[in-house]
Structure 1
């Protein structure tokens, strides 16, 4: 079974993947464009996501080895950095972070991930809108009657597509503050 889904919040993605596992579908592949491949299984699994900044090949090998020593199977992710997907058969150890400090470090990395993507998309939004705005039809706002409405309705889907980076900024800012709140709670 294949499903297409896009997430802007790693924790929501992890929860969704674990709900699929509870329904009896084990994830076998995750593409970079949001296509998840599942297969039916009778075994119980648990899945966890981690975000890592750039890791050298040596550090990535050590990172992967530590988790594999505890029974986790590496599913997907680049050794260069990004989201790492881990899965294993369910047992008494279902978490990949063993203490408060490792959880704090995870949320700190997640804040960096969210803010980095948010700033990049904010820059892209600025570049898209700085000269022209959302609607590009020349003279649109001076048109009258039916001509205005035809041009406006024709242009609106394109304007919505051009606004997508700005919408994504809001989603990543929300993800940042969610991670910050959890980071702060673990600090106490």
Structure 2
């Protein structure tokens, strides 16, 4: 069974994957962030996400072998740390990854850094755009005074450029919200670690 679903919050993704396990489905592939491939299973599985920074080939091989020795099956994730590692195994009461909380802090630090950096870039672009063009999106002189086929030709020609000018402020807003969300989750993950000490 193939399911298309996208998650901003990795905690929700992990909970959803485990609900699918409870319904009798085992995750066998996760080729992209929004594509999940399951197979039916009579066995109870648990799925965990682990967030790692870039690893050397040797470190990555060691990371895989340690988890596989503990019964975990690697579904997704590479040594470059671009996506979370997805692990699944048969439930046996020892169903937590040893570095779960620390890896979440690492993930949220990266998410905060990425979203913050791109939000700043889009904010600068938006600021430059609105100062350079007085906030106008369509720049063809007299565009809206044209009529008939001339209007439509000019409008359709300029539309892609207008969208390039109009979309970045919205992207900035989305990235700003994602930054705040990641920052909030980073603080929560840090507090979880502090409470365990």
Give TM-score scaled by structure 2 length.
0.75
Q: Residue 68 of structure 2 corresponds to which residue in structure 1?
A: 68
Q: Residue 186 of structure 1 corresponds to which residue in structure 2?
A: 193
Q: Residue 77 of structure 2 corresponds to which residue in structure 1?
A: 77
Sort the Cα spacing of 1:161 and 1:42 in 2 relative to 1 into closer, same or farther, 3 A.
farther
User: Aligned to 1:6, what secondary structure does the other structure show?
Assistant: coil
CA distance in 2 between counterparts of 1:164 and 1:10 reads 21
How do residues 25-174 of structure 1 correspond to structure 2 at under 5 angstroms?
25-82=25-82, 83-97=84-98, 102-132=99-129, 136-138=137-139, 159=166, 163-174=170-181
Tell me the CA shift for residue 174 of structure 1. 0.9
Give the unaligned 5+ runs of structure 1: 144-150
> Contact 2:50–2:100 (CA<8 Å) still a contact in 1?
no
CA distance in 1 between counterparts of 2:3 and 2:171 reads 22
> Contact 1:28–1:38 (CA<8 Å) still a contact in 2?
yes
CA distance in 1 between counterparts of 2:136 and 2:42 reads 53
Moved more, 24-33 or 73-82: 24-33
CA deviations over 1:88-136 (Å, ceiling 9, x no partner): 1111111112xxxx44422320232221221232134225423335872
Sort the Cα spacing of 1:172 and 1:12 in 2 relative to 1 into closer, same or farther, 3 A.
farther
CA distance in 2 between counterparts of 1:47 and 1:89 reads 9
> Contact 2:50–2:103 (CA<8 Å) still a contact in 1?
yes
> Contact 2:123–2:169 (CA<8 Å) still a contact in 1?
no
Give the unaligned 5+ runs of structure 2: 145-154
User: Aligned to 1:186, what secondary structure does the other structure show?
Assistant: helix
User: Aligned to 2:16, what secondary structure does the other structure show?
Assistant: helix
Give TM-score scaled by structure 1 length.
0.78
User: Aligned to 2:51, what secondary structure does the other structure show?
Assistant: strand
CA distance in 2 between counterparts of 1:165 and 1:4 reads 26
